[in-house]
C-alpha cells in the first residue's frame, strides 16, 4: 500500500465514516479516487486533509467530507445518469463516476474545464463528459438526469435544472439569499409538475454564477447590500490611515479598547520591525493613559524575568548581557526594537513611585525547561536546602534529555524510560504546600520560583505528548500560556491590566480559523471565552518587504524577501487599498458593510521563525474569517526585518523549541 493509499483509507475511516456517512457505495467511491491527482503539485501533501484547497481560477477543491455528503444525498444507483454543475478540479466528478453509469459535468472557467477533461481522461474515466459553459442552464441535450449536483450556492433552485430531472430524480444544491445563510437542499421530482424539498442543513459555498444564478462574481456580495465600491475601497473608507508609526493618532483606538482589561497584540511574523514597534507604541499609550501594568509576551519565563528585573532597577540591562534570549531564535526578543522599548519601560518605572502601578514584563511560554529547573533549585537552596536536595533528585529524571528534550517523548512511548510527571508535579506541590513560609520572606522571589516550577510541569507534559498527540501539544502550550497569564493577573492584583504580545496564530480566536477543525484552540480563544468584551484582540499584516527568519530549525538568521501576498488572501485585499498603513476596526466597524464583506473565509499568511518562500502557500497560509478572529487589524503594506543585537546562541544551551510559531 502506498503512502497516499494509506492516507486515503484513513480519510475514509476518520473524516467520513466516523462522522456518520455510512453509504458504502460512497465510501468505496471516495476510497477509489486518488485525490492527490486533483490538487496542485505543491499541495499534494495536504491532499487528504479535511479542508478545501486552492486550485486555478481562484476556485477551490471542496473538502472530502462535503463531496461525500452531497454524493450520498443523491442516493445514486449504478445505472444512473448524473449532471454536475461546477466541475472544478474534476475530483467530485470522478467520485460520481465510480458509482453512476454516466456523468455530465459543466464548468464555467475554461481553464478548469480543459484541465479536468485532460486529467480525467488520463486517469481512465471514460464515463465522464466535460462541458465549458453556464451550468445554471443545465445540459438539455442529455436530459433527463436521474441526479443533479450543484457545487455552488444560488439565490434559488434554477428552474432549468428542476425541469431536466427525471421523475424520481434528485437534485442537491446549496441555496441562500446571501453567501452566509445557505442551506443544502435536496429536491425530489415526484411527478411531471410536482417537487418535494428537504433541508439537509446549513452550508457555505462559492456563488453560483450564471443566467439562473448570481449575475457575476460580486453578485453574492451585493445580495447582502448593494454597493458600487470594491472591497479595497470599502476598507479604505472604513480605516484610519497613517504614514509613520510615531505619527499615528491612536486616540480612536484607545476609545475602542475602552475599559478592556486585556489587550492582545499580534504579529504576522516573528521577525518584522514594524510589528514590534507598533506594539510598543500602543503599549506605551495603554500604560500611560489607561493604567496597564503587565506586558506578557511569547517568551520564556526566565529570560523575561531578566528584563523585568532591569526595568525595576534590580539588574543591569539584560539585552546587553549574554544570559537571556540565548536560545534559537535569538532575534525574536534580542533585537533593537525590544531594546528600545525596555529602556522606555525602565524610564517609566523610575518615575512611578507606586509598585502597583509600575509595569512588569513576563514570559508566558514553556520552552525553558532546564533554565526553569535551575531557577527553582537555586531558589530552594536559599530558602529550604533540604527540599532543594529532594527536588534535585526528582528533576534528575529529566536530565538525560537536557541536550534534546524532544527525545524524551520517544523514550517514554517506546517504554525505554519512565515518565517524569509524578516527580515534577511533586516538586511543585511541595512548594505550594510551603507557600506561606516561602512567600513571607520575599513574595516576588517565591512567585518567580513558583511560575518556573509550573513551567517545568507543563513542559514535561508537552514533550511527553508531542509525538503521539501533535494538536494536543499545541493545546498544552496555549493552555499553559493562558494559565500563566491568569497567575500574573492574580499576583498583580484585582486592578491589574495586561497587554499580551504573541503571534497572530496565538492571539486571534482559533474558532475563526481552520485550527478549530483540527481540534486546536489558542490563548486568544481562551481569553475571549473567559473575558468576553473585556479583552480586545488586534492582528497585524503585511504584503511585502523583508523579514528576519531562518530556513530551517536551528539555522542562522537570514534577512529574507517576503513574497507578495497570495491573490486569494486577506493580505492581497489589503494590498489593493490605496493606503500603505492603516488601522481597521472590526468589532466596532466604521462601515458595517465592510465588516460583512470581510466575513467570508480567505487565506491568511503566518510567518514564524522559519520562512520558506518556495513553498509559501502550503507552509505559511491558512483559512480564517478576519472579523471573527480579531477585534481590529493593523496593516503595513511594506515592512522591514528586525535588527538583531548580534548575539550568538550560547553553545550547550538546549534548543527546546520544536516548531516555528
How many residues can be counted in the chain? 661
Helix ranges restricted to H, 176-272: 219-222, 231-238, 251-257
> Is residue 623 within 8 Å of 63, Cβ to Cβ?
no
If DSSP states are collapsed to H, E and C, what string results for 581-613?
A: EEEEECCCCCCHHHHHHHCCCEEEECCCCECCH
Dist. CA 104–CA 186, nearest whole Å: 19
- Residue 209, classed as helix, strand or coil, is strand
- Residue 343, classed as helix, strand or coil, is helix
Dist. CA 458–CA 325, nearest whole Å: 20
Tell me the three cell numbers of residue 209.
454564477
Tell me the three cell numbers of residue 611.
520562512
Dist. CA 521–CA 519, nearest whole Å: 7
Nearest to 444 by CA among 374, 482, 491: 491
Tell me the three cell numbers of residue 607.
510567518
Q: Residue written as cell 441526479? A: 147
Dist. CA 654–CA 445, nearest whole Å: 25
DSSP letters, 251-313, are HHHHHHHTT-SEEEE--S-SSBHHHHHHHHHHHHHHHHHH---EEEEEEEHHHHHHHHHHHTT
Q: Which of 49, 62, 305, 473 is catalytic?
A: 62
> Is residue 477 within 8 Å of 365, Cβ to Cβ?
yes
Q: Residue written as cell 475571549? A: 528
Dist. CA 603–CA 119, nearest whole Å: 26
Write phi, then psi, for 173 (nearest 5 degrees): -155, 140
Neighbours of 77 (CB within 10 A): 12
Dist. CA 319–CA 334, nearest whole Å: 6
Dist. CA 310–CA 331, nearest whole Å: 19
Nearest to 162 by CA among 178, 150, 176: 150
Rg from Cα positions in the chain: 28
Q: What is the largest CA-CA distance in the chain?
A: 91
Neighbours of 506 (CB within 10 A): 25
HSE of 188, CA atoms in CB hemisphere, 13 A: 11
Tell me the three cell numbers of residue 194.
410536482
Residues 6+ apart with CB under 8 A from 426: 394
Helix ranges restricted to H, 291-402: 301-311, 336-351, 369-383, 385-395
Dist. CA 317–CA 648, nearest whole Å: 17
> Is residue 150 within 8 Å of 85, Cβ to Cβ?
yes
Q: Which residues pair with 584 in a beta bridge?
A: 633
Q: Residue written as cell 463531496? A: 67
Q: Residue 422: enclosing H or E segment and its boundaries? A: helix 421-433
Residue 62 annotated to the active site: yes
Catalytic residues: 62
Amino acid at each position: 500500500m502506498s503512502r497516499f493509499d494509506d492516507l486515503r483509507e484513513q480519510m475514509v475511516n476518520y473524516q467520513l465514516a466516523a462522522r456518520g456517512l455510512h453509504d458504502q457505495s460512497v465510501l468505496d467511491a471516495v476510497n477509489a479516487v486518488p485525490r492527490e491527482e486533483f490538487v496542485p503539485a505543491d499541495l499534494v501533501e495536504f491532499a487528504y486533509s479535511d479542508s478545501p484547497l486552492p486550485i486555478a481560477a481562484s476556485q477551490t477543491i471542496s473538502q472530502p467530507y462535503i463531496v461525500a455528503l452531497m454524493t450520498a444525498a443523491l442516493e445514486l444507483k449504478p445505472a444512473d445518469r448524473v449532471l454536475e454543475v461546477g466541475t472544478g478540479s474534476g475530483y467530485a466528478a470522478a467520485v460520481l463516476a465510480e458509482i453512476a453509469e454516466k456523468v455530465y459535468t459543466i464548468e464555467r472557467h475554461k481553464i478548469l474545464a480543459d484541465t479536468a477533461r485532460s486529467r480525467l481522461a488520463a486517469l481512465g474515466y471514460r464515463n465522464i463528459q466535460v462541458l465549458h459553459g453556464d451550468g445554471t442552464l443545465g445540459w438539455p441535450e442529455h436530459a433527463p438526469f436521474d441526479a443533479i449536483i450543484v457545487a455552488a450556492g444560488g439565490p434559488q433552485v434554477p428552474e432549468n435544472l428542476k425541469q431536466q430531472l427525471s421523475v424520481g430524480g434528485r437534485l442537491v444544491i446549496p441555496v441562500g439569499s446571501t453567501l452566509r445563510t445557505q442551506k443544502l437542499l435536496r429536491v425530489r421530482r415526484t411527478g411531471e409538475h410536482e417537487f418535494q424539498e428537504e433541508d439537509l442543513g446549513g452550508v457555505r459555498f462559492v456563488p453560483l454564477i450564471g443566467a439562473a444564478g448570481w449575475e457575476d462574481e460580486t453578485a453574492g456580495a451585493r445580495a447582502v447590500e448593494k454597493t458600487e465600491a470594491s472591497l479595497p475601497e470599502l476598507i479604505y473608507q472604513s480605516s484610519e490611515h497613517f504614514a509613520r508609526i510615531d505619527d499615528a493618532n491612536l486616540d480612536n483606538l484607545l476609545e475602542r479598547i475602552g475599559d478592556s482589561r486585556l489587550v492582545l497584540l499580534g504579529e504576522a511574523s516573528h521577525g518584522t520591525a514594524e510589528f514590534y514597534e507598533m506594539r510598543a507604541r500602543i503599549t506605551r499609550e495603554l500604560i500611560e493613559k489607561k493604567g496597564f501594568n503587565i506586558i506578557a509576551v511569547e517568551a520564556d519565563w526566565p529570560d523575561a524575568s531578566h528584563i523585568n528585573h532591569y526595568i525595576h532597577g534590580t539588574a543591569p540591562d539584560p539585552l546587553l548581557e549574554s544570559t537571556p534570549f540565548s536560545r534559537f531564535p535569538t532575534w525574536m526578543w534580542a533585537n533593537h526594537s525590544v531594546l528600545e522599548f525596555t529602556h522606555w519601560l525602565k524610564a517609566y518605572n523610575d518615575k512611578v513611585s507606586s509598585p502597583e502601578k509600575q509595569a512588569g514584563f513576563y514570559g508566558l511560554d514553556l520552552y525553558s525547561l532546564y533554565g526553569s529547573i535551575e531557577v527553582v533549585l537555586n531558589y530552594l537552596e536559599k530558602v529550604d536546602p533540604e527540599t532543594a536536595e529532594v527536588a534535585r533528585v526528582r528533576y534528575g529524571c529529566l536530565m538525560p534529555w537536557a541536550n534534546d528534550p524532544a527525545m524524551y517523548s520517544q523514550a517514554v512511548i517506546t517504554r525505554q524510560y519512565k515518565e517524569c510527571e509524578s516527580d515534577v508535579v511533586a516538586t511543585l506541590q511541595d512548594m505550594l504546600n510551603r507557600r506561606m513560609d516561602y512567600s513571607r520572606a520575599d513574595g516576588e522571589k517565591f512567585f518567580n520560583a513558583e511560575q518556573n516550577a509550573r513551567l517545568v510541569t507543563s513542559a514535561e507534559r508537552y514533550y511527553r505528548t508531542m509525538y503521539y498527540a501533535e494538536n494536543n501539544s499545541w493545546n498544552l502550550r496555549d493552555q499553559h500560556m493562558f494559565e500563566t497569564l491568569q497567575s500574573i493577573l492574580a499576583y498583580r492584583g484585582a486592578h491589574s491590566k495586561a497587554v499580551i504580545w504573541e503571534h497572530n496564530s496565538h492571539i486571534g480566536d482559533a474558532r475563526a480559523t481552520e485550527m478549530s477543525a483540527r481540534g486546536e484552540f489558542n490563548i486568544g480563544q481562551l481569553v475571549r471565552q473567559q473575558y468576553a468584551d473585556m479583552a480586545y484582540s488586534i492582528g497585524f499584516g503585511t504584503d511585502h518587504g523583508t523579514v528576519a527568519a531562518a530556513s530551517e530549525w536551528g539555522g542562522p538568521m537570514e534577512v529574507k524577501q517576503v513574497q507578495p501576498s497570495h491573490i486569494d488572501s486577506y493580505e492581497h485585499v489589503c494590498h489593493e487599498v490605496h493606503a500603505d498603513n492603516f488601522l481597521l476596526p472590526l468589532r466596532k466597524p466604521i462601515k458595517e458593510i465592510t465588516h460583512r464583506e470581510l466575513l467570508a473565509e480567505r487565506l491568511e499568511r503566518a510567518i514564524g521563525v522559519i520562512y520558506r518562500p518556495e513553498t509559501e502557500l502550503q507552509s505559511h497560509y491558512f483559512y480564517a474569517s478576519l472579523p471573527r478572529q480579531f477585534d481590529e487589524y493593523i496593516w503595513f503594506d511594506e515592512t522591514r526585518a528586525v535588527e538583531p543585537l548580534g548575539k550568538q546562541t550560547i553553545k550547550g544551551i538546549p534548543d527546546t523549541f520544536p516548531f516555528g510559531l
